[in-house]
Chains A and B, each alone.
Chain A
Amino acid sequence: MITAITIVLFVLFVGFQVLYIFIPLFCVKSPVKPSKRSEEAGITVLVPAYNEQNIILNCLQGILHLDYKNCETIFINDGSTDHTLELLDQSLTLKAVHRLPAYKLSYNEVNAVYQSERYPSIFVIDKHNGGKSDALNTGTDYAKHELVITLDADSVLDPNALTEINEAFLDEKVLAAGGMVQITQGFRGDFKRPTPVFSIPWLIRYQILQYLTNFYLHKTTQARLRSITVIAGAFGAFRKYALFEAEGYRKTVGEDMDITLRIQRLIKKRYRGHKLLFIPTAVCYTECPSNFKSLFSQRFRWQKGFIDCIFNFRKSFFRNLGFSVSTYLLLDSLILGTINAFPSIVIPIFLIFNKSYLFVVTLLLITILLAYQSIAAMIISTRYGVKYSRWDYVKIALFIPFEIVSYRLLGILFVTIGTILYFKDKEGWHSSERIGVKYQTFSEDINLPQEKIV
């Protein structure tokens, strides 16, 4: 019986991995041409910020360099206790303005709304602390435009990002979309012509391979199968009415997955035939954890958020959520991702003592399969213009098999401990520490008045 279950799980696992390789391989055209420019629809960019003084200006630089006219940006200062607001004031020269929200969502009290005198399309909302979801609800309620972008304060938008989003949302059936999140530590030089590099700490190499695989392969596949379950919080795009009808963000560790599932529920209930997209050409650069401690706390948070969502939507599967979303979530994410992690720890020990070669053979097969997947991720990356130097490819080739049998196994820890932590302490969550080192720059940083206040 146990063998039968193991084999079924194994076959499912292999099945999903093969899909992740071949759907993108055959669907992504090479090279991907930049979209032609249509009329600009209005876009509101929301940046929730809580104690982000180390990096908020990087994010601001990205926004100032956006190659898109018809947009406004709203920073939501979620009751920061550091100098986030002062920094913004210095750089933007803020003045209080009167602005009315749509009053469609509820959130903590707003102290004031400011507009920048230097850049009139940039606003800052100062409010009482209520968490990321509360800040996003505030921003959505105050947004002027029909398209809303949510951006993390530690992320920098690519100058073309909004153009690409705009093109994708020309299709009325698109309710929401996720962009490509790249790791800023993996690039050097100008944001306008970023050069990917691989001579970087191994912990970051691991995360880069993971992001390239997760976005270029997994998200492309999920979008094809209409089963996107997470629009990454770092960079997502939504139609405002969808956010309103979904009743905004819920206060949880995994608010990004939660809102995605709420929108999937809308699609099932009210917007048949509408869809969620992954837009690989809309790029943002985000800083990933650079030490084990912050990586662990980030991943535990993700896993807690995931389990929380599964609990929250447990009665909705298949009834209120579409078939492919439910299947994907339960099979790939829950069973293969979480439940499987527990036997993954026990089975090898069992097999080793059972002196069977089966374990070794299975491990070999999985390693090669996953290596193929990493290779496919690199191939798809080149189609989107992420091209490494030859020497870097040698490093990547050596790193791939090593990563699968070493760093990759950390995933089991993340899942196991994250799940346990969820049941032990449902509320607590720690933000990972941001260092705020600039790995990439704009060739001409826009000069912002700055005194040393940090």
Chain B
Amino acid sequence: MKRITFNLGFTIIFTLTFFLLINTFSNVLVQALPTEEAPKPKPFLPGESLHISSCQKWSSHIRDFKVKDGEEAKQITILLYHRIIDDSAIKDIHYTKEGELYPTIVLKSEFKKQMQYLKDQGYTTLTNEELKLFIQNRHKIPKKSIVITFDDGFKDNYEEAYPILKKHEFTALNFVIASYITKNTMEYKEGEVQYFSASDIKNSCDVFEFQSHTYNLHKRTKEGVAFLVDRDQQQIKEDLKTSIEVIRPVRPTFAYPYGEYDKEARNALKQLNIGMAFTSEFKDTGPNISMLEIPRKPVYPTDTIEDFKKKIK
């Protein structure tokens, strides 16, 4: 009897010790497990929606910058980012054959410096609506105004860039490929190609203004022709319509994948009442330019902070 009690006591203490230990270190242990059974991403199907309009309302508010005559901006820079990757997560796959980082990548450390510079210099980040009024020459904005945009909707925008932007009280436009948004939230793996989940979008819609980067036309044909150039007007129109249904922005705006487009694509935009579209033509933006050809300056991984300063001057 005494032995049985002792044995049971020993067993219980043993079990408890390991339960506590494993519980304490479960994070470390789980990370070591092979994640073959990772859930599959579930996309938004045509007709489904994110329902984020209520948390995007802020983007339609026009601020009065109280700019005195003669001090308003004549030209502003629109920055274009794609991926923000933490320096420690950079692997071989992030390098081109020539041994350079892909031009769509910006290191987190660099991004931090750039945002800090903008903050230190007192820059204001404009919303889509404010930019539109500026181009239409209907609203005065400060000389130190800037527009930050992201293309494709990578998950790292949420994990890495969002906290930095939020800290500096900046806002940015984020052009997402609607069919890549996942309904379920996938575990974030630094450096890997992952896209926004619905919850990522909802958690960052106070900083990002989400806009369409097509539903599923961010591709090229085998011959290397961008789909937006290759496909006919009807197909493009259908696709964009689907993307707008998913995102439902306050004022639909568009960014051309790869910055490539043709007349049919522009006609499709017009038919859908999409009045603004961004390219990646390396230029500053001033009043009275074409609303469907708004230029942007991509930020490259090779840019030093000096290059960045020049870029926005």
Contact = CB atoms under 8 A, between A and B. Distances in A.
A21 B11 CA distance: 10
Given A7-B33, A358-B31, A361-B28, A29 B17 contact: no
Contact of A26 (B2, B7, B28): B7
B29 A361 contact: yes
Interface residues of A, number: 20
A25 B7 contact: yes
Interface of B is mostly: helix
A242 B32 CA distance: 49
A29 to B, nearest CB: 7
Given A7-B33, A368-B17, A372-B14, A361 B25 contact: yes
Nearest to A371: B17
Interface string B10-34: 1100100110011001001101111
Nearest to A3: B34
B3 interface: yes
Interface string A331-369: 000000000000000000000000011100100110011
A323 B231 CA distance: 66
Interface in B231-269: none
Contacts of B11: 22, 25
B28 A357 contact: yes
A200 interface: no
A21 to B, nearest CB: 7
Contacts of A364: 21, 25
Interface in B58-89: none
B10 A25 contact: yes
A404 interface: no
B14 A21 contact: yes
Nearest to A383: B3
B91 to A, nearest CB: 13
B21 A7 contact: no
A379 B10 contact: yes
B162 to A, nearest CB: 26
Interface string B139-158: 00000000000000000000
Contacts of A357: 25, 28
Contacts of B33: 3, 7
B36 to A, nearest CB: 9
A368 B32 contact: no
A22 B2 CA distance: 17
Contacts of A376: 10
Interface string A220-252: 000000000000000000000000000000000
Contacts of B22: 365
Interface string B154-192: 000000000000000000000000000000000000000
A100 interface: no
A454 interface: no
B3 A29 contact: yes
Given A25-B10, A365-B21, A368-B21, A358 B32 contact: yes
B242 to A, nearest CB: 40
Nearest to B31: A358
A376 B14 CA distance: 11
A185 B28 CA distance: 44
B34 A7 contact: yes
Given A361-B25, A364-B21, A7 B14 contact: no
B27 to A, nearest CB: 9
Contacts of A21: 14
Nearest to A365: B21
Contacts of A356: 28
A4 B29 contact: no
A18 to B, nearest CB: 9
Contacts of B21: 364-365, 368
A358 B29 contact: yes
A21 B18 CA distance: 14
A316 B125 CA distance: 77
Nearest to B26: A361
B306 to A, nearest CB: 33
Interface of A: 3-4, 7, 21-22, 25-26, 29-30, 356-358, 361, 364-365, 368-369, 372, 376, 379
**Chain A to chain B: the 10 pairs with minimum beta-carbon distance, closest first:** A361-B25, A30-B3, A361-B28, A357-B28, A358-B32, A4-B34, A25-B7, A358-B28, A3-B34, A26-B7
8 contacts: A7-B32, A30-B2, A358-B32, A364-B21, A365-B21, A365-B25, A368-B21, A376-B10
Given A22-B11, A29-B3, 19 more contacts: A3-B33, A4-B34, A7-B33, A21-B14, A25-B7, A25-B11, A26-B7, A358-B31, A358-B32, A361-B25, A361-B28, A364-B21, A364-B25, A365-B21, A365-B22, A368-B17, A372-B14, A376-B10, A379-B10
